[in-house]
């Protein structure tokens, strides 16, 4: 995974054995999510895709997010 442009830090790394499949779509989703959070200072929940809801990284923001998806 490439480092975030904003901070120059490695955000994620994945290592697989050759006999285990990989998901290119998931790697690209992670790149999109890391770029989004670096620009918008939010949290992207699991399985987030561009255009979907995000949440703030605090108790109130996360509670609002989880209430909105129920």
Look up the domain containing 55 and give its range: 24-68
pLDDT band at 6 (very low <50, low <70, confident <90, very high): low
Cβ proximity of 6 and 39 under 8 Å: yes
- In terms of pTM, does the model score above 0.95? no
> How many folded domains does the chain comprise?
1
Residue 4 lies inside a defined structural domain of this protein: no
44 burial (CB, 10 Å; 0-12 / 13-18 / 19+) is buried
Residues in the chain, overall count = 70
Residue 14 lies inside a defined structural domain of this protein: no
What average pLDDT does the structure give for the chain?
87
Residue 17 lies inside a defined structural domain of this protein: no
Q: Which of 30, 51, 41 is nearest to 7 (CA)?
A: 41
Instruction: Tell me the sheet residues that pair with 29.
Output: none
């Amino acid at each position: 995974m490439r480092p975030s442009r904003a901070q120059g830090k490695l955000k994620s790394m994945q290592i697989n054995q050759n006999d285990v499949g990989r998901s290119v779509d998931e790697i690209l989703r992670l790149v999109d999510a890391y770029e989004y959070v670096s620009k918008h200072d939010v949290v992207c929940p699991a399985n987030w895709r561009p255009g979907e809801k995000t949440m703030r990284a605090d108790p109130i923001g996360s509670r609002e997010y989880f209430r909105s998806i129920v």
